[in-house]
Structure 1
Amino acid sequence: MKIAVIGGGSTYTPELIEGFARRDAAMRVDELVLQDIAADRLAVVGGLARRIMERQGWPGRLTTTSTLDAAIDGAAAVLVQLRVGGQRTRLVDETLPGQFGQLGQETTGPGGFAKGLRTVPVVLDIAERVRRRALPGAWIIDFTNPVGMVTRALLDEGHRAIGLCNVAIEFHRRVAAALGIPTGRIRLDHVGLNHLTWVRRVLHDGVDVLPALIAAGPAGVLPQLTEHPIELIRTLGAVPSSYLNYYYRTDLAVQAQRGGEHRAVEVIEVERQLLDMYADPALDHKPALLEERGGAYYSEAAAALATSLLTGDGAHHYVNVRNNGTVAGLSDEAVVEVPAYVDQDGAHPVRVAPPAPDMLALMQAVTAYEVLTIEAATTGDRDTALRALLANPLVRQWDVAVPLLDALLDANSAHLPRFAGGRR
């Protein structure tokens, strides 16, 4: 069995490597290929990956390549974890919108929009090559943000794809640890879109303990698990994902960014330090600093999902899949993030209760924005791009959207050939 990782030069990769090594008894991988266009970075990450595998006694073969076709030839699964333009474009996503009084964030708002424009065409091109060169029926596992949008674009083009995010599994693990309960005895009623989800129930052996957690107020464990005010959680009767802070407390987030708080700056420095560590030939394990990079439990989520898709173990996951009636009020074609049992046929979502009207309204608005952004990304049509920004709940205003779009297109021109005509 061969698995390919596109964007294998990511600093996340050592976590992924450890995840596959730990699961060798459940899924024997004969060849794991790391592919990246940044050859120097790939050499450093690949070197650490080999040392990790050797330390853990992994019997398979790990190879690195800068050639996409060589990576995906004969693969049973292709995991995509790339970032078009690297951290430099992320910094633009987080800083440019502030010039227009807007939130700067790499997966939501205008920054997420720009990332979608850059990313969707690249991932679709990779997927077409996977269709031609990988094994028939090969799975594409997308960890590339914006995950929901990218997964929908893949599914709309008929690819066998499933999206993955670490938000749900991270909350799952943290709440279990806070309660002193084994993770296998906890299930989340986790519903929404990628980076737009709510945990409406925390089931311990089938019994919902969330009401008690909310009732405990500031003295309880919830303040340890989320930055949302406990009164907001009580009002909603649910725990919003951290990304919903940008919707529920937009002005505070924008104000913080005016004070110079930009995650990209921190990540650029952490990545520099990590790559220096990875280059040390004595290092043969994931360094603790990687936890500051973000993406907690990524290795577990990615390796476990690949195992379920390739072995059919039927395990429980939180994934991004077609709605197909799972969430009432959304179209069947929408991509939702929900709990599911996963086997070789894909994800089988758990039945979820209809969302509250306020949650549904936000999901509907963001779904419409995603559809328009995908269309703009694949066609290069400026009017469609403007409609996407107008549909985005974090933008909406015409007098902002027009100059903001021009600025985003100019700043990203090297990565947006379909918009080569520029502004009107």
Structure 2
Amino acid sequence: MKLTVVGGGSTYTPELIDGFARLRDTLPVEELVLVDPAPERLELVGGLARRIFAKQGHPGRIVTTFDLDAGVEGADAVLLQLRVGGQAAREQDETWPLECGCVGQETTGAGGLAKALRTVPVVLDIAERVRRTNPDAWIIDFTNPVGIVTRALLQAGHKAVGLCNVAIGFQRKFAGLLGVTPADVHLDHVGLNHLTWETGVRLGGPEGENVLPRLLGEHGDDIAADLSLPRVLLDRLGVVPSYYLRYFYAHDEVVRELRTKPSRASEVAEMERNLLKMYADPALDEKPALLAKRGGAYYSEAAVDLAASLLGGGGSPYQVVNTYNKGTLPFLPDDAVIEVQAAVGAKGATPLAVQDVDPLYAGLMANVTAYEDLALEAALRGGRDRVFRALLSHPLIGQYEYAEALTDQLIAHNREHLTWA
């Protein structure tokens, strides 16, 4: 089995490598190719990756290359984890929206749209090159904004599934609180990427006992603290929202916080500098503890599980993924990309049935889906007016004056990445 990671020079790649090494019985990788255009980073990450495999006794071969076509040729699956513009572009995404009093974040609002505009054309080009060299390969997208990027891939006819680590993080958290194994916890997870709610927590599978009321009753303070949301809100909702819902439920509070502290991008950039220094140490043969602060917890486990199921291996029968709606949520178009539990196998992901969704959540999902439609149109076709329409439609913006100003800012800060600007 051959897997290729595009963006393999990321400082986060050793987390993925560690998962491949530990879970080799689930996903027996014979060749792992790391593709990245930055040779210095790739050399450091590749060296550590080989040492991790060696230490854990993994027999697989690790190859590094900046040649995308060579890297994806013959791959059974291609994982996308790229960041167009790097942390410098992320720094901009997180700062210029604040000038209009709007949240600055890399996956939602104006910053999220900027990332989508930079990313979608690049990902589609990569996917086309994968299709030319190996049309049977699965594409697993971990590149944000996952919902929009995955929809672009599916709309173009690619064999693609989107992946996010939010659900597996909740699964691990709840399992620890309940004193059970993660495999015992099945989430009733519903929404769009980075706009999701846990409406049930079941023991043993989709038909198991819903212990969410007990979790909230006994551990509500702990869960609320992790989300930086008040306990009373969780009690009133009776569900556990993703921490990304804080940008919606406490928008103005978040803006005030963001204006008074360093950006997350600057923090991550500093971590990356330190991590690369560590990776250069030839004695290092395991992922360093600092990597846990980088973000993306449990990504490796989720990626291995998904790849194993898609490639006919021993992955979990049900996984939370991003895929076409296909009538699962009747208030959204069939071709909307939703994030829900799905049965995953060699033919792809089939969403499980979802019980009636509270209008409180359905309305926001419908609004953001409409925004994602317009965002994808802007990413595919360009143009100032399309950018403006997407920004005006976003529930975190929604005002003409803000949308006008943010459109100009977005284009000015991203001109080098926008072929039409």
For this structure pair, what is the TM-score category when the shorter chain's length is used for normalisation?
over 0.9
Aligned to 1:151: 150
TM-score by length of 1: 0.96
Distance (whole Å) between structure 2 residues aligned to residue 214 and residue 303 of structure 1: 30
Conserved 8 A contact 2:305-2:315? no
Determine the structure 2 residue equivalent to 1:284: 285
CA distance in 1, matches of 2:91, 2:79: 25
Aligned partner of 2:154: which letter?
L
RMSD: 1.3
> How many angstroms apart in 2 are the aligned matches of 1:28 and 1:178?
32
Conserved in 2, the CA contact under 8 Å of 1:116 and 1:149? yes
Provide closer, same or farther for how the CA distance between residues 261 and 131 of structure 1 changes in structure 2, counting only shifts above 3 A: same
The 3 A distance-change label for structure 1 pair 221 and 95 is closer
Query: What residue in structure 2 maps to residue 197 of structure 1?
Result: 196
C-alpha distance in structure 1 between counterparts of 2:39 and 2:348, whole Å: 33
Using the TM superposition, give the Cα deviation of residue 56 of structure 1 relative to its aligned residue in structure 2, in angstroms: 1.2
Please list the CA deviations of residues 123-152 of structure 1 after superposition, one character each: whole Å capped at 9, or x if unmatched.
Answer: 001001011012x32100000000000000
Unaligned runs of 5+ in 1: 420-424
Secondary structure of the residue aligned to 1:412 is helix
2:180 is equivalent to residue 181 of structure 1: yes
How far off is 1:214 after superposition? 2.4
The match for 1:407 is 409
**Separation (CA, whole Å) in 2 of partners of 1:361 and 1:131:** 37
Q: How do residues 291-310 of structure 1 correspond to structure 2 at under 5 angstroms?
A: 291-310=292-311
Match of 1:320 in 2: 322
1:171–1:225 contact (8 Å) kept in structure 2: no
Give how far 1:221 is off: 4.2
What corresponds to 1:7 in structure 2? Answer: 7
TM-score (norm 2): 0.97
1:263 Cα offset (Å)? 1.0
Deviation at 1:224, TM superposition (A): 5.1
Q: Which amino acid aligns with 1:175?
A: F
Quick one: distance in 1 between partners of 2:174 and 2:228?
A: 14
Question: Is the 8 Å Cα contact of residues 26 and 313 (structure 2) preserved in structure 1?
Answer: no
Cα distance in 1 for residues equivalent to 2:27 and 2:275: 29
Aligned match of 2:360: 358
Partner of 1:171: 170
CA shift digits 1:307-341 (9 cap, x unpaired): 11112546221100100011231111000000112
Q: Which residue of 2 aligns with 1:91?
A: 91
User: 2: CA distance between counterparts of 1:221 and 1:249?
Assistant: 18
- Counting matched residue pairs gives 417
The answer for the alignment partner of 2:381 in structure 1 is 379
Residue 126 (structure 2) aligns with:
126
Distance apart, 1:210 and its partner CA: 1.1
Question: Helix, strand or coil: the match of 1:106?
Answer: coil
Given the alignment of the two structures, is residue 211 of structure 1 paired with residue 213 of structure 2, yes or no? Answer: yes
Q: Deviations over 1:260-279 (max 9, x none)?
A: 24211111111111111111
Q: How far did residue 361 of structure 1 move? A: 0.8
Match of 1:79 in 2: 79
Q: Look up the SS of the partner of 1:251 in the other structure.
A: helix
By how many angstroms is 1:61 displaced? 1.1
Distance 2:126 2:370 in 1: 25
Tell me by how many angstroms 1:11 deviates: 1.2
Q: Which amino acid aligns with 1:357?
A: P
Contact in 2 for aligned 1:55/1:284 (Cα 8 Å): yes
| CA deviation after TM superposition for structure 1 residue 40, in Å | 0.5
Q: Provide the secondary structure at the position in 2 that maps to 1:102.
A: coil
- Cα displacement string for residues 336-356 of structure 1 (whole angstroms, at most 9, x for unaligned residues): 000112111111222111211
CA contact (8 A) 2:307 2:315 kept: no
